[in-house]
A and B are shown apart, each in its own frame.
Chain A
Amino acid sequence: MKPGLRFKSVVPEGPRVAVTFDGEALMLPEGANLATALMAAGIGSFRQTPFQGVARAPFCMMGVCFDCLLEIDGVAQQSCLIEVRAGMDIRPARQQREGPYESL
């Protein structure tokens, strides 16, 4: 995936911990803001919109907009309000596109 954002770091490199993102192993800085850490790790799309199915990525970073929504350890959460912990199981939120699904 093409890295979305590039960053200049102003803080010394701290310890990293292992998490999984969509099944893939990732090493993220422990205690860092999860949404930021994922963007810095090159994650460019956090969710698909329900109707048009287009990509979204963090917008407000303050817990307002829900564009950073991810499923973390089974529960959909705003990743901008969460700190990185070892072993987090992170996935795109369970959403689906519009359209009547197959009925009986």
Chain B
Amino acid sequence: MDAEFAIVGGGIVGLSVALGLLDAGRSVVVLDGGAADPKASRGNFGLVWLQGKGVAQPRYARWSKESADLWPAFAAMLQDVSGIDVGLRQTGGLDLHFDEETLAQAVAENECLKAELGSDYPYEVLRPDTLRVEEPEIGPRVVGAILHHGDGDVDPLALLAALSAAVRARGGRVVTGAKVDAIHPKAEGFHLHGDGVDLRAEKLVLAAGLGSAVLGPKLGFVAPLKPERGQLLITEKLPPMIRRPSLIARQDRAGGIQIGATNEDVGMDRRVTLDGMARLAADAVAAYPVLEHAQLLRAWGALRVMAPDGLPIYQESPTHRGAFLVSCHSGVTLAAAHAMRLPAWILQRADAPELEVFGETRFAV
């Protein structure tokens, strides 16, 4: 055996789980994908986000909240172990609205979550006058906003680098350029093959993003994962002008304004489009008129990893014990829970979190 655990997928999800398993004293090898893989962790927006999540499934709202609460300790631990500050800010986040109708709908959803979570769901509706005190650069076309005080963001690339460094520092192995093509279940565990991969492990965590949709069914998972393209933009570095992240824009530590994101069903196409960029720019300028003269430096497309109901999947294989599927589209928000809480579930300890509702039985028809 090369390791107790093989983690297939070296993105934010796989590395977070790996780090947690290392903390639990297990030996871990992480297999990052090949150069052509879509790698959602390299393209995301970096939000640690709660508002609006779990309207249809309160357990998701609580699980996200649990992770957000763990984030400060998680970020501190990452800094300790890796030396990298991931730039966590949890000072609230905004959902901006250009018309009353969508605002009213968002308020209704938030009310629904508040009813479920109570004081664990600290949100308020800001009208233009108060909104502009909180966020001076908001423009006149914004009619209102939801401010959730638990929302925030991190530097997503710093997070990826910190996780990778922390896994190595804790004694894990991260193999890059290692694309797993085949997983052979053996009596004593799993034998993984692929380009640059020949590895045996007792147990396996499948955290390969969209790759899990290909590898999963061979291990008895449903893994009904579909790509959803998000195009994102980043501007030149600018003086501080956006205080809290919103679903439209956030300002990173170096001053760049990151603008997101489209939701497109275009298969595995990661290209950016003129129409996509133009629409994002239009929304950003409408929300923050000061951005009119800001220069767009780069645009990219990334693929969200979506289950049909948008919820995470946590499932042990019904046919191959010791194989676990971990998948979600909010790898940043859930990173802390994946590192600090999920290992207990994978290791089937008494303190395992209750994750039954995220199992694949929900996909049975």
Contacts and interface: CB of A to CB of B under 8 A. Distances in A.
A/B touching: CB–CB < 8 A: yes
Interface of A: 50-51, 74-76, 93-96, 98-104
A96 B240 contact: yes
Nearest to B251: A101
Contact of A101 (B91, B240, B244): B240
A103 B253 CA distance: 10
Interface of B: 87, 89, 91-92, 236-240, 243-244, 253-255, 293, 295
Contacts of A93: 236
A103 B89 contact: yes
A96 B91 CA distance: 22
Q: Which 6 A-B pairs have the closest CB atoms?
A: A104-B91, A101-B240, A96-B255, A96-B239, A50-B237, A100-B253
Contacts, number: 40
A103 B243 contact: yes
Contacts of B255: 50, 95-96, 101
Contacts of B87: 100
A76 B91 contact: no
Nearest to A73: B293
A74 B290 CA distance: 11
A104 B243 CA distance: 7
Given A75-B293, A96-B255, A104 B92 contact: yes
Given A75-B293, A104-B91, A104-B243, A99 B237 contact: no
Contacts of B253: 98-101
A34 to B, nearest CB: 18
Contacts of A103: 89, 91, 243
